[in-house]
Structure 1
Amino acid sequence: MRKKFLSVLTILMISLLAAYAQPGRKVESFNTNWKFYLGDEGDAKNLAYNDGEWRQLTLPHDWSIEGKFDEKNPTGQAGGGLPAGIGWYRKTFTIPQTAQGKNVFIDFDGVYCNSEVWINGHSLGKRPNGYISFQYDLTPYLNYGAQKNIIAVKVDNSAQPNSRWYTGSGIYRNVWLTTTSKSYIPQWGTFVTAKVNTANAIVSMQTQVVVNQKGLHLKASVLTPSGQLVNSITTALEGNDSLTTVNQNIVVGQPKLWSVNNPYLYKVVFQVLAGKQVIDKYVTPIGIRSFNFDADKGFSLNGERMKIKGVCMHHDLGALGAAINARAMERQLEILKAMGCNAIRTSHNPPAPEYLDLCDRMGFIVMDEAFDMWAKKKNKQDYYQYFPAWHKRDLEDQVKRDRNHPSVMMWSIGNEIREQFDSTGITLTRELVKIVKDLDTTRPVTTALSEADGKKNFLYKSGALDLLGFNYHPETYADFPKNYPGEKFIAAETISGYATRGYYDTPTDSTRHWPTSSKAKFTQGNSQFAVPAYDNVAAYWGSTHEETWKLIKKYDYLSGEFVWSGFDFIGEPVPYPWPARSSYYGIIDLAGFPKDVYYMYQSEWTDKPVLHLLPHWNWEAGKTVDVWAYYNNADEVELFLNGRSLGTRSKQGEELHIVWKVPFEPGVLKAVSRKDGKVVLTEEKHTAGKPAKIELVADRKLIKSDGKDLSFITVRVLDAAGNIVPDADNLVNFTIKGKGILAGVDNGAQASMESFKEPQRKAFHGLCLAIVQASKSAGLLTVTAQSEGLLPATVVIRVK
């Protein structure tokens, strides 16, 4: 039996070694078995350092989200009041002897911020930018076989404040180990574009290859998603011991075009060949599409005119912080897609690579943004101090990394840049646009301008921008063609409307600006640190959602908009003082629960039938309540209270909602929408009794046993009849058993001081959220929610 076991073990060892011995590319996740220390430990870069007492963890990791909210933390209220500081990561690993003679690289998708990396005590370099992806060559310093290697990473986020929003801290994106032959395609070494006509597409490929032997060829093959060959081309590689660039073209007959409704993805497989042997293999997904911005007709995709219905998104994932998780990002995009959103602006930095992969696959147009500041600072310790030395490298790396994504249709080189107010903006705009154009001429370059007067704006005066992007200033939209003749337009950032999910006050007859100007002190708030969820409160520089959307849809030359913002995010809690620590701007709250205005957009941005009634129906007797309804696909809506008709309303002119003023009485408020006299939808609001029980609703009851997959579980506090209790704030405790862990909790409250990581959370207006994460083994994951005086609830998640 022992001999048989050894024989099997030997075969497995030979197979493993053979995998490394084979020529070609090997890309492995390098996220596991890291050790972490929070604090400055300068000797940790040394090979002999003892890290035996350090915490062991799996990347991606954000240490700030694990901390406590405190207004004394140097990140300040704008950064969410969470800690920052210095952290160290170390990993011990081995490389097989068979990898000797190959190239071994480490790829970091993002480290916030000021990272320094060492391998076996040798410095590999520094990258100050916290959002950029980068690579180091480990090859000259590695030990092979049984000898150990130690990589050390210092992350220094101690210089504060360095951001206007929550950044997170640490190696918060994925890390990869890439092994290649000596002849190989370098990182981001392909650039694939396509020109479409009525019958076919010409796919053009520009590929860099490091050539270290004679007689090599580069083969490029276009494949369908299922792997079926469409066409291929093979080209001899010139030179030896050099970097060469190869240009190739492939015809794709009757191509299936990528669109927001049908995001069809081909892939190009590049192979470096020595005879029939594959020396290297590099895969680039592509979407074949055409798009255009027109000064008169706005935006078109594949020849079809359409509005860009976009939102701005920061990078945090609520209770998960900045540590990226593909499922958490996918959930956000699913919620936005259901609203009718078709575009994302990555505010105000390069996103995680996986985010763009999702946008490619799910059908979103992307404005890919580089910087929030150039050489003039917005915060005392921000990127401005590194901009002179690093902006060219960082922007080049962003463009090279992201230019093959079909979802990316605009490059933004900055947001509300302060150089727009002086002549330095002319020189820098031209320089940055040239950096982009040297690498990609297929997409327009824009920047988000807060100064809307072209006579005063030096970025506009540069003449270098392909697409004029305004932040706010809807008063300029009607006269845009007159004031900016021949210019193409995108509303790069709009609205800045505030809302707290589930909170209402009346009347709603006028729009409120909190505060009323940049010089006015904010005094209009309340002790709950809440903003009414009716769409009638905005920042002084902004507007309501309805005001701006009416204009965007009215004028053809307005290509579309990016609403500030899609989701609430940690930090920038305007207009309230501490303890507010998260934003109020989102259409969706921090936990992922839609606010009421979500349904206004759904009624305008989709063709699906919509009828949404607000507010809840729990009020003091006799109070007059403004009842709003958003609807579409109907001629009218009739409102009933306890069976009595309160009248029929329909939208008049440019109205996007209808209103009744209703004296409250307990019971049932019911709305019925009709088209051609036939009922389309019905919605009811019931007066709820006291909290009696908990209900758990999982977004997915089957998740993968990969150690990463998530299920988002909505916790609803109900009365005995099953109605959500709109003022319920019961403390809910969570127990997790089986194949997974509790990854985070939230409730969407913008001023809550509760930890995202404790196994409990107060309900906020009847709701809270538990996020559970799968283990790496299959089985059942049981989640139980309990609260004093309430019937508990349990949900079982299958981990497969």
Structure 2
Amino acid sequence: MVLNLVIAKAQINPRKVELFNSDWKFYIGDDAKAKDENYNDSQWRQLSLPHDWSIEGAFSETNPTGQAGGGLPAGIGWYRKIFMVSATSQSKNIFIDFDGVYCNSEVWINGHYLGKRPNGYISFQYDLTPFLHYGAEKNVIAVKVDNSAQPNSRWYTGSGIYRNVWLSTTAKSYIPQWGTFVTTQVNIKNAIVRMQTLVVVHQEGLRVKASVYAPNGELVNSIITPIESADTLATIQQNIIVGQPKLWSVDKPNLYKVVLQVLLGTQVIDKYQSFTGIRTFNFDKDKGFSLNEEPMKIKGVCMHHDLGALGVAINVRAMERQLQILKAMGCNAIRTAHNPPAPEFLDLCDRMGFIVMDEAFDMWRKKKNKQDYYQYFPEWHKRDLEDQIKRDRNHPSVMMWSIGNEIREQFDSTGIILTRELVGIVKSLDNTRPVTSALSEADPKKNFIYQSGALDVLGFNYHPETYADFPKNYPGQKFLASETVSGYATRGYYDTPTDSTRHWPTSSKAKLTQGNPEFAVTAYDNVAAYWGATHEEYWKIIKKYDFLSGEFVWSGFDFIGEPVPYPWPARSSYYGIIDLAGFPKDVYYMYQSEWTTKPVLHLLPHWNWEPGKTVDVWAYYNNADEVELYLNGRSLGIRKKQGDDLHVSWKVPYEAGTLRATSRLNGKIVLTEEVKTAGAPARIELVADRKLIKSDGNDLSFVTVRILDAAGNLVPNADNLINFIIKGKGMLAGIDNGSQNSMESFKEPHRKAFHGLCLAIVQAMQSPGAITLTAQGDGLKPATVIIRVR
């Protein structure tokens, strides 16, 4: 499934909303004169947005972002763009919309100062109308981005105008940005779509026409309401009944389109559209979460906003790929850790069927980093939170708001006052969803955010030992495991034995002494942070109790920064179920066997070891009674899950050859999987996730590079240097291999394989044709793949 969602943001004429991403000039450094209209930027670099300049830099331990920020550069950057506005637009309003700038952005138009937004994750708009030149005279927009105050984050943030920019043109009377609020009410036979619309009024005789369209595009009904208010800002309430509604769910994410038109007589002077999903959901203190009155465990993951080798510069296809990989695992929910996501990310969740916990802040007044948002919170938190709620409240995927993550005010009485204030802000704009906060203090007597009494659902990070006693310790409360696991793994790396669980480091003050020179963590699921537990340990608890609404695993994907448990040169996290390049780690298949009904049989580890070594062999499976293991045709015994087991295992003295597992149900074979001993690296294989992409300048093909032996087996420890040559209508947007401590640039056309794999990300240009990607390595037979662009 490929979704062209960026184009969908452009509203229907006469309102004109167009991407404003092309033909910008960029400069790293600070020059106060760059805001001036006639500044000479001829030597600046020309580029298109979205843009993250940090991802283009070199990793260094001395960069002020520090290891937690991935060791990539930050600093100050300037963007400028020249554009023309036709003389016919003088009767219009013209706005510029920024979906996200990291961080401390300041904006000028033709030398006039428009404002500042410190928050790097929030969307905002400026009115350009009073300051524009029309006709043949040019206009200059200048943006200063100041990410120089470091450290300001516990993870990689990126730097720059990293989300989309839009130019919006409206009539003088119009529906303002985020000016609609659509809610639904469902009963047995029908639903009511309720629309609350703001209209900026500059003339008499206006009416608002609301139309609702079914998922198949057919008109459900329309209603027209006159604007009788004498105020310049009118609020219009309208209801439309939908008979036999098609409900939105994670399996069938049906979307209804709401079109709002401002009419003057018979003339449409503004048109604004939104999407909604008709659904009911509930959190219950005894039965947990339900969607459309059906019990459902929230099987979620936490996701930071970076896109691996692409940095934080948003790309719809890259986000879609992440969600597709998670969906195939059985994931049905995303927590946006720990800030508002890109609008297009929520569009994807709406259309693909994900429940979203939309999170606002990682800190309030008390800091976690020397230069973080705490210093702006007193002045900006109300505006930022209001803008987040208004922007995101029409998304049916959003089913809860989170006002914070592990906020330090939970440990003293200031947490009571601030929690009540923040919940009040949310409820004033949306009373249809519960409000939670991710709490790290599990003792109710010590947790002042809980004591505020303002939270609808209690979200707890970790402390799995308290879950069974939750109803006793928090009587009458609803519960969600807002962050779980913090298990570590390096894809393709294994050490044995696996008889015990290890916790690294052992406390917040301890330094890691365990480990190895490779800065790797075994991919067996038996290593976790001291505050967490393994994936299996957590899921056993979550699935056991009905009152547990579900969990959000830390984390879905590895992300840049926060490389616990190792010191430099580790620069990316080890927490992901999936590595930074998008390659699943072994535990992915545990979740797939538990979270889906599709047949699963996954065997680990690889089968290249020194002779005689005893190797722990694990198998994840479902839809079967048993698994039998064979080595070179000899049976090594049948294993069956006992009690709450989530895998079966054998201890096998290694000998080269073929390891084969067969799962059976009622004596009949369900699946068979083989792992073979690989020989020396002999050739390269290229596997593109899509061989046909769009010529829009943004579409991507993710090409997996596999190092194979002469017989076609993946070589599990291959680390050959691969060089890439690209020709035709495309470019290399990034290269990665999933290694958490590689110092190789994401932007150079070469990469070492990591445990036999690496990844090339091919980006289309804006003209049709073909892209030829060739991968070469010393001593390896090269490979070529052709990607069509249309």
TM range (shorter): over 0.9
SS in 1 for 2:716: coil
Residue pair 2:488, 2:575 contacting (<8 A) in 1 also = yes
1:406 corresponds, among 374, 396, 399, to 396
Q: Which residue of 1 aligns with 2:617?
A: 627
The alignment status of 1:717 with 2:707, answered yes or no, reads: yes
Match of 2:423 among 415, 424, 433: 433
Does 2:679 correspond to 1:689? yes
Alignment partner of 1:668 out of 658, 665, 673: 658
CA contact (8 A) 2:423 2:435 kept: yes
Match of 1:611 in 2: 601
Matched with 1:87 is 77
Counterpart position of 1:581: 571
Give the Cα separation in 2 of the matches to 1:680 and 1:232.
Answer: 53
2:531 equivalent to 1:541:
yes
User: 2:274 corresponds to which residue?
Assistant: 284
1:241 shift after superposition = 6.3
Choose the corresponding residue for 2:437, options 447, 458, 472.
Answer: 447
Deviations 1:347-385 (A, max 9, x none): 000000000000000000000000000000000000000
Indicate the residue corresponding to 1:502 in structure 2.
492
Percent sequence identity over aligned pairs: 81
Q: Is the 8 A contact 1:214 1:239 kept in 2?
A: no
Shift in alpha-carbon separation, 1:788–1:285, aligned structure 2, 3 A: same
1:740 aligns to what? 730
Displacement of 1:23 in angstroms is: 7.4
Letter of the 1:169 partner, please give it: S
Which residue number corresponds to residue 522 of structure 2?
532
1:491 lines up with 2:487 in the alignment: no
1:751 to 741, 744, 747: 741
**Equivalent of 1:795 in 748, 771, 785:** 785
CA distance in 2, matches of 1:516, 1:723: 39
1:415 and 2:405 aligned: yes
2:194 aligns with one of 185, 188, 204: 204
Displacement of 1:238 after TM fit? 1.8
Letter in 1 for 2:459: G
Aligned 1:591-606 pairs, distance under 5 A: 591-606=581-596
Amino acid at match of 1:600: M
Secondary structure class of the residue paired with 2:509: coil
Deviations 1:138-168 (A, max 9, x none): 0000001111000000000000000000000
Distance in 2 (CA, whole Å) between partners of 1:114 and 1:782 is 41
- Tell me the alpha carbon deviations over residues 628-662 of structure 1, each in whole angstroms, 9 at most, x when there is no partner: 00000000000000000000001000000001000
Work out which of the residue numbers 355, 371, 376 in structure 1 matches 2:366.
Answer: 376
> 1:355 & 1:723 partners in 2: Cα distance?
37
**Separation in 2, partners of 1:561, 1:529:** 29
- Distance in 2 (alpha carbons) for counterparts of 1:519 and 1:137: 50
Q: Residue 68 of structure 2: SS of its match in structure 1?
A: helix
Distance 2:212 2:499 in 1: 58
Q: Give SS of 1:193's match.
A: strand
Q: CA deviation at 1:339?
A: 0.1
* C-alpha distance in structure 2 between counterparts of 1:341 and 1:146, whole Å: 53
**Equivalent of 2:238 in 204, 228, 248:** 248
What residue in structure 2 maps to residue 17 of structure 1? Answer: none
CA distance in 1 between partners of 2:433 and 2:541 (Å): 26
Mapped partners of 1:520, 1:208: distance in 2: 55
Letter in 2 for 1:377: K
CA contact (8 A) 1:618 1:726 kept: yes
* CA distance in structure 1 between the partners assigned to 2:142 and 2:70 by the alignment: 28
Query: Which TM-score applies when normalising by structure 2?
Result: 0.98
Give yes or no for the alignment of 1:236 onto 2:226. yes
Question: Shift of the alpha carbon at 1:227?
Answer: 2.7
Helix, strand or coil for the counterpart of 2:254? coil
CA drift at 1:275: 1.2
Residue of structure 1 in register with 2:8 after alignment:
none
Is the contact between residue 638 and residue 673 of structure 1 (CA under 8 Å) also seen in structure 2? yes
Residue in 1 that maps onto 2:382: 392
Alignment partner of 2:483: what SS? strand
| Equivalent-residue separation in structure 2 for 1:174 and 1:242 (angstroms) | 30
Q: Which of 66, 69, 77 in structure 1 is aligned with 2:67?
A: 77
Native 8 Å contact 1:23 1:180 kept in 2: no
How many residue pairs were aligned? 780
Structure 2: how far apart are the matches of 1:410 and 1:194?
Answer: 16
Q: Tell me, what secondary structure is at the counterpart of 1:100?
A: helix
**Is contact 1:213-1:240 (8 Å) kept?**
no
Work out whether residues 23 and 278 of structure 1, in 8 Å CA contact, stay in contact via their aligned partners in 2. no
Distance of 2:516 and 2:440 partners within structure 1: 30
Separation in structure 2 between the aligned mates of residue 283 and residue 519 of structure 1, nearest angstrom: 53
- The code of the aligned residue for 1:759 comes to P
Q: Is 1:766 paired with 2:756? A: yes
Distance 1:23 1:615 in 2: 57
Q: Over residues 586-644 of structure 1, what are the superposed CA-to-partner deviations in whole Å (9 max), with x where a residue is unaligned? A: 00000000000000000000000000000000000000000000000000000000000
Offset of residue 528 of structure 1: 0.2
Question: Which residue matches 1:698?
Answer: 688
In structure 2, how many angstroms separate the alpha carbons of the residues matched to 1:789 and 1:226? 55
CA deviations 1:218-240 (Å, max 9, x no partner) are 00000123431101111001245
- For 2:685, the aligned partner's letter is E
Alignment-mate amino acid for residue 680 of structure 2: K
The correspondence for 1:316, drawn from 306, 314, 318, is 306
Deviations 1:34-88 (A, max 9, x none): 0000000110000110000000000000000000000000000000000000000
Give the secondary-structure state (helix, strand or coil) at the position aligned to 2:327. helix
Partner of 1:651: 641
Name the Cα RMSD after superposition.
0.9
Residue 564 of structure 1 aligns with which residue? Answer: 554
1:516: Cα distance to partner? 1.4
One-letter identity of the residue aligned with 1:311: V
Give the distance between the partners of 1:191 and 1:738, measured in 2 at CA: 46
1:279-358 equivalences in 2 (<5 Å)? 279-358=269-348
User: In 1, Cα distance between the equivalents of 2:216 and 2:775?
Assistant: 43
Give the letter for the 2:715 counterpart.
V
**Distance in 2 (alpha carbons) for counterparts of 1:692 and 1:119:** 58
Match of 2:161 among 171, 174, 180: 171
Shift of the alpha carbon at 1:24?
2.2
CA distance in 1, matches of 2:491, 2:545: 31
Task: Please tell me whether residue 66 in structure 1 is matched to residue 86 in structure 2.
Answer: no
Indicate if the aligned counterparts of 2:13 and 2:271 stay in contact, CA closer than 8 A. no
**What is the letter of the counterpart of residue 262 of structure 2?**
V
Match of 2:117 in 1: 127
Q: Alpha-carbon deviation of 1:559?
A: 0.1
Residue in 1 aligned with 2:32?
A: 42
Q: Contact 1:433–1:464 at 8 Å: present in 2 too?
A: yes
Alpha-carbon deviations, 1:394-418, whole Å to 9, x = none?
0000000000000000000000000
Deviation at 1:520, TM superposition (A): 2.4
Which residue of structure 1 aligns with residue 513 of structure 2? 523
Residues 419 and 449, structure 2, Cα contact 8 Å, conserved in 1: yes
- CA deviation map 1:514-545 (0-9, x unaligned): 11122322101110000000000000000000
Q: Distance in 2 between matches of 1:195 and 1:421?
A: 39
Partners of 2:597 and 2:231 lie apart in 1 by 58
Which of 659, 662, 667 aligns to 1:677? It is 667
Which 4+ residue blocks in structure 1 deviate beyond 4 angstroms? none
CA distance in structure 1 between the aligned counterparts of 2:291 and 2:720, rounded to whole angstroms: 49
CA separation of 1:241 and 1:298: change in aligned 2, threshold 3 A: closer
CA shift for structure 1 position 276: 1.2
Question: Is 1:53 paired with 2:43?
Answer: yes
